[in-house]
């Protein structure tokens, strides 16, 4: 039976990986991901998990090793952050093109420079176009559940795509929370053993990763894109079944107090809990505000999102990453693009907050909402606005 225990969120992530009975873990240290692979190295060393633990010499090799492993038919996991994710960049595109169901946890962290070990989303927002399924966790329970969900979706024969589970570095990865850890029998009900359709096998040789001449490259890209778009059905089904089995139901977007809201805050990740506190406070004051947060980021859940914000005239999108020299942050950009063709589309105001570990406080959210109300009446001069910048 499931047990609710106080546990560091990183450890909960690795406990989920253990319960998924993975075959291979590629590991290279990078803060704040380290606790995940450290704990996995311990469970392998103690014989609690029968897996190959490959302590590679770089994140580039970690992802390369994962591809070699997954192509051989093994259930494969790795975790990374920030510069490590950036070092993997080149190889990240290749896993979905080969339809390899690798699961990776990214403990989100700012990118250099200046070098920063603290949390924001600039690492993962630089990986928008890699064709991996991507989810964002709000708390420790979600991290545990989303990791199991990731294997279930990735390995579904209708999907066969790699999945990234994003969790905020430190603010989530290093926090101890009460988390309900499922037991092996329960996980087995949800996650069947991985049976690869195609794998490297001398008895039945295949060539993988071949040259894509101009006559085929476009079609290959289209096929990957379609696979990613079509994966959403399985993503939803796997969440429904998770809820039916364990009582926790998940959606691609979550709404909080959006009934009658005039301004809706849009967030991703663990700041959403602070945002909820801010919403409660503002609602008490009679302000008509609500919150929508993304749990599924790729494929972008456009219909669910449009439904969640239907009828609202003003959106205040909080980005945790900067797109220097651009029109707005990456989340706002996606939202604006998704809404552009809609009749009576809402105004979208973009706020960049919490870069490089700067706290995003209840007051910050109050400021953002207050600005959004003002801009709804008098349009802002700038395309986006950075919150909490100190005058030095």
CB of 342 vs another protein, minimal distance in Å: 40
Nearer to another protein, 63 or 289 (CB): 63
CB of 72 vs another protein, minimal distance in Å: 4
Nearer to another protein, 66 or 85 (CB): 66
Nearer to another protein, 72 or 338 (CB): 72
Nearer to another protein, 44 or 271 (CB): 44
Name residue, tokens 């005058």.
Answer: 391
Question: DSSP labels for 135-178?
Answer: EE-SSHHHHHHHHHHHHHHHTSTTT---EEEEEETTTTTT-EEE
CB of 106 vs another protein, minimal distance in Å: 19
Nearer to another protein, 59 or 145 (CB): 59
* Sheet strand arrangement including 385-386: 253-256, 289-294, 263-268, 314-319, 347-352, 385-386
Q: Note the residues at the interface with another protein (CB under 8 A).
A: 23-24, 26, 50-52, 54-58, 60-61, 64-74, 76, 90-91, 94, 193, 200-202, 205-213, 216
As a whole number of Å, the end-to-end CA separation of the chain is 55
How far apart CA 105 and CA 13 sit, in angstroms, is 8
**Axis crossing angle, helix 362-377 with helix 271-284, rounded to the nearest 10:** 60
CB of 131 vs another protein, minimal distance in Å: 15
CB of 156 vs another protein, minimal distance in Å: 18
* Sheet strand arrangement including 103-108: 52-54, 24-26, 76-80, 103-108, 163-168, 133-136, 296-298
Q: What are the tokens at 235?
A: 């993503």
Name residue, tokens 């490259």.
Answer: 217
CB of 159 vs another protein, minimal distance in Å: 20
Nearer to another protein, 213 or 341 (CB): 213
């Amino acid at each position: 039976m499931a047990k609710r225990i106080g546990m560091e969120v990183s450890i909960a992530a690795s406990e989920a990986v253990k319960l998924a009975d993975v075959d291979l873990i590629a590991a290279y240290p990078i803060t704040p991901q380290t606790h995940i692979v450290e704990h996995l190295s311990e469970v392998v060393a103690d014989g609690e998990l029968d897996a190959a633990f490959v302590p590679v010499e770089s994140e580039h090799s970690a992802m390369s090793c994962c591809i070699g492993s997954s192509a051989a038919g093994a259930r494969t996991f790795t975790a990374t952050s920030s510069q490590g994710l950036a070092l993997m960049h080149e190889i990240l595109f290749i896993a979905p093109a080969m339809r390899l169901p690798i699961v990776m946890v990214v403990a989100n962290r700012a990118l250099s420079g200046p070098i920063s070990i603290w949390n924001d989303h600039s690492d993962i927002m630089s990986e928008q176009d890699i064709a991996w399924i991507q989810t964002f966790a709000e708390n420790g329970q979600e991290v545990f559940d989303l990791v199991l969900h990731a294997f279930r979706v990735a390995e579904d024969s209708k999907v066969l795509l790699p999945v990234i589970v994003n969790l905020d570095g430190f603010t989530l990865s290093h926090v101890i929370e009460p988390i309900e850890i499922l037991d092996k029998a329960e996980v087995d009900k949800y996650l069947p053993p991985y049976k690869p359709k195609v794998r490297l096998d001398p008895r039945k040789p295949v060539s993988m990763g071949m040259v894509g001449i101009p006559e085929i490259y476009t079609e290959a890209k289209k096929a990957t894109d379609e696979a990613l778009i079509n994966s959403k059905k399985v993503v939803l089904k796997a969440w429904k079944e998770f809820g039916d089995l364990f009582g926790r139901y998940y959606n691609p977007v979550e709404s909080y107090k959006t009934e009658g809201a005039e301004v809706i805050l849009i967030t991703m990740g663990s700041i959403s809990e602070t945002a909820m506190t801010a919403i409660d406070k503002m609602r008490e004051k009679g302000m008509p505000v609500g919150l929508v947060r993304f749990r599924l980021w790729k494929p972008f859940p456009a219909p669910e999102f449009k439904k969640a914000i239907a009828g609202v005239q003003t959106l205040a999108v909080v980005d945790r990453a900067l797109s220097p020299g651009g029109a707005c942050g990456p989340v706002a950009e996606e939202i604006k693009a998704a809404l552009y063709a809609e009749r009576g589309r809402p105004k979208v105001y973009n706020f960049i907050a919490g870069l490089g570990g700067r706290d995003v406080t209840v007051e910050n959210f109050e400021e953002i909402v207050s600005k959004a109300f003002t801009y709804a009446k008098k349009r802002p001069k700038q395309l986006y606005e950075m919150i909490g910048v100190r005058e030095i």
